[in-house]
Every structure is written in C-alpha cells, then in structure tokens.
Structure 1
Amino acid sequence: MIKVLLVSLVISSIVVLAILGWAMLHETSVYESFYTLSLSVATRKAAVSIVGDKVCYLYMYDVFYQSLPLQVPPSDLYVYNTSVNNLLVNVHIFASQLGPSSSNISVRIFEITKPFSLDVQRIISAETSRLNYSFYFPLISRDAYLEIRSQLEQKAIEKINCSQIGLNAPPAFLQCKAQSLPRLGNVHVVEMCIARDTVIKPFSSPINATRIDRLIDMVVNSTKYGVSESVLKEISAVLDIIVDVSATISEKIILQPKTRHLLRVSAFLVVFLGGLYLHYRLRPDEYKEVKRFIKKLSRLVYMPRIGRRDRGKQV
C-alpha cells in the first residue's frame, strides 16, 4: 500500500513538474472568454463645427465600466489578463427617417486625461457662451474646432481610428481598433464627421428632407429666416445625433509559474523519491516484480544492439 502511494506521488510530481516547465516556456491559458461592455451612456454632442465639406461633432464622456469583473486568480501560479479587442460605436438620430450611414461618416476616438478634458471644455464654453442659439445647438467656429483637434492630436494618450462595418443604412455602426484597455478615470473624446450634404428627414415636421448643413444654417440664422421656436426645437432634436460606445473585452487566466514553484515541486519529488528508495531498502521483496520488469525492459533495449555488434564482427 505504501509502495503504491509513493509511486503515485513520484509520478504525480513528475507530471506537475513537466506541466509547470512547459508553462514557463509557453503561454498556457486555462480560461478565456469574450464579452461586450458599455463604456458610456448614450452621449449627446458637446460641440459641432462645419469644417470644409464635413459637419463634425465632438462628444465627451468619462470612461467607466458598468460590470467589469475584477476576478482574482486562484493562486499566485496564475495571472489574470484583460485586454480590449476593439471599440464599437453606434450613431443614432432618433428623430429622423434619414440620417448618416456608415458610408458617409468617419469617427475617431481620443483618450485623454481628465485635467486636459477640462481645458477642451473651457474652449467650447468660451465659444458657445456668446451665441444666442447655443441652447439649441452648440456650434463653434472652424478655428476653435481646429484648435481643439490640434491639441487632441498632440496630447491624446491614444488615438483610435474607426472603420465602417455592416450595411450602408442608419444607424451607422463602426468598429475601432484599440491598442489597450481604456483606463478608468480617463476621458474619451469622440470626433464624428458627416458629409455636409447628408440629407436628414424628420419623422413628423413641416420640414422636408434637408441637407444637414442647411438645417444648421436654419438654426444659426433662425431670426433671418423667421423660424418659429417650435420648429427650432424640432430641428435641434433632429440634429441631436447620439453616440454610444462599447468595448469587446477578452479576459484570460494564464498559468504562469515562477522559479520558486518549480523548486517547490522539485523538492517534493526529491522527498518522494527518497521515501521510495528507503522503502525499497526496507522491503526489497515488494519490488521483485519491478526488478523483473526492469530486466525485461533492459533485454529489449540491449539485445538488438548486441546482435548488430556481433554481425559487425562477423563481417
């Protein structure tokens, strides 16, 4: 009984040592899953500007995770690794029949620090505070917009480009390739640019299907065109394009043994081998079958060699 136990312990130690040695040389994942997490609630525009042949919207939100699991590895043998595969951006116009599709829209995401985001907000506030229509539409000048964009290009922790996926029909749905998991507490600035000739049609309104730049002009020059407050509110609702961003997360638990783990298992192996040898010296009769097996095995190994050697001498 003791012999069987000692042999089992020796074999188990050898197997564990082999697994740990393999895991030190090759990444070995014992658990892996993928899921989607929301990074923001539905976010409304912070600023809008007409830049060349585009109408560009800026959105800002604090990065947060609704349910990011903070799993603890079962022991120090393992490492918990979380990474982001990509970010998904949904663009919606809830008050419109027609709107931007993936084919005429471009999106970039800038990850910035919280203090820098306050500087961006100050530039936007300084622009919109002097406009009487800012309550309906936060339009900023082209120069202010380009200044913000330049600072984002210089100071962003990460710049994430997005590409269209799916059908060319609203709502627009874009995929963005991120290099790292967005850090909790940082701020995302989403830059979304739409072709200025994109046609938008409100669901129920005296307004016909109209280009987006024309609708903006009606808000900015509402007094000139004699646009009533009710129509102004409706145009504002149509232009209120909403963005929400989610992340596709990959999580792994990786077996990553350290040298101390190998030494620990090696020590157990030496102890079990020592116990097995001691038991063999005390009870040699229990190992007769083992001796017989070893002799047969040695014959099988050495006999072919002896035969080849004899044939060589004869030649």
Structure 2
Amino acid sequence: MAKSKRNSKKTMKKHSMPRLKFEHAGKPLTTAELNYWASELRLTEEHQKLLKKSNGGRPDQEYFRWERPHDELEVMCLDRFFGLDPSPFGPDRSIDCLSIMVRFRDYLPRYAIPVAALSSDDLLLTFHSGPRVGQIWLFYSPHHVDVDDPEDGIAFVASSLNEFLNMLTAPEDPYDPITIALDSPKVRGKQLAILLKSVGCKVFKYKGVMYSQVALPPAWEWPNYRRAAGGLEETDLPAFLAVEKNLTYGYAPKCDLRKKGHPMLRINVTKSQRKKCVKELLGLLGEHAEVVDA
C-alpha cells in the first residue's frame, strides 16, 4: 500500500506543473488574447496554462537529460520558451511561437506547434492534433539536419508538456561542498590521513605550485565518488576533499557553530552521491566529527 501511494505521488508530480521562475518573458497576455490564440492554434490546456504563467522566457531550471535515439544519455540546455506576440507581423515583431511556425512552415511536421528553443538551435514541438497531441518532441534544426521528410527530423522527448517541465532542473553548482567539522585530534592531521587512506582516498598534489605564502590545505581525491561539475555534467574526476580553517579567507567555510580556525573537512562530490558519501564519512569519523553543511 505504501509503495502504491509513493507511485501515485510520483505520477501526480509528473503531470502537474512545477514551480518555475522565468526571465526575459514577453508582455503578459490578456485573457481575451490568450483565448483567441488558444482557439486559433488549438493549444492544449497545459500549453495555455504555461502561457498564462509566463508568456515565454527562460526558466530558472533549464537543463534536462535526454537520450537521443540509438545514442547515449545527453544533457540538454533550454534557451527559452516561445511566447505569443499579439501584434501584427512586421520587422519589429519579436521571435515567438507564430513567427517560428511561419519561418519553418516547410519543415515542420503536420499539427506541430513550436514550444521552445534549445541552446543547440534545435526546437521543441508539441502537437494540437493527431497521435502525438500534447506530447513534446525534439525537432532537429534544418541548419543541422537536411531531411526531405519532416518526420525524419524529430524524436520523442516527453508524453506531455508538464512531464517535460518536471524534467527540467537547475545547474549544479560546481563549488557547493559538504562541510564536516573535525572536532577531535583523533580525526585531524596524520590520523585523518590514515582514515581517509583506509577507504581509498589518495593524497592530492598541487601541480605547478612551487611556493605559496599561505599554506595550501591538505587535500585528497576519492576515486569511489565523482566530483561535481557545472550544469548536469558528471565529470570523470574523483571527488575532492580538503581540510580548511573555519571563518578565515576566500572560500573557507563560514560556520558560526565553530570558532575561527576550527579545522573543517570539505568534500566536493556530485549531487547524486552526496548522501552516500556523507554516510560513509560519518561512519569513518564517528562521534569525533559533525556535518555542519550538507
């Protein structure tokens, strides 16, 4: 029963619109304008709700993972959603859903409505009729793919607009480390080095550094985990650990629960592995350490 409830919640989330913030959106549409174009273009209910929330623009969560047909999983970046410009066509008209439809009218599949542009110049389409109604498909830009049949230039992405919106995520901060306070000599200095070595950590050597006025923090790499990278990329570099002094300088930890200069172990690890990494480290360090920022 509990598993059934969890699956039900996941399904509800998958089909509900997430909380997104938009920038560089067009002028909000009036109810009359939205109703008119919804009727003219036969927009789906989900598409209408998105346009009501924001008339196009770039969301604060713009990355998503997508597997190209017969290819590996890829990280894609959304450039912007297309809004609707109710003004007459002319040289000053903004780039919107209608202008894209006109521009690519010889290439788009039947019933297609452009929804968004990717940073790669490819487009995302939805459909107002037919077997793909409401679905989201990727449309390879004619600048990239030369096809005679529009059906050969598209690939499935999501079963609905809301499902696609729930696929979006914010870029991972490449420097958002876990911070663990080292509260005992038993988990500092040589003792810490021995403990970390026991789980496979390797001493990190600062390459190209001959001399530094400020002592560089002792650091290790942990091949069992991966280091975080920008966007949603998963780097092949091992997780990075360093001991830094609290409330000192630069990127040093800023924890009011410990005194200035208190030794802190900081770990740069990819988001998907953070919980597992913290659990293993706390099991290793025991009662002599405490997570102050995870």
Q: Which has the higher contact order (CA 8 A, sep 6+)?
A: 1
TM-score, scaled to structure 1: 0.20
Bigger Cα Rg = 1
TM-score, scaled to structure 2: 0.21
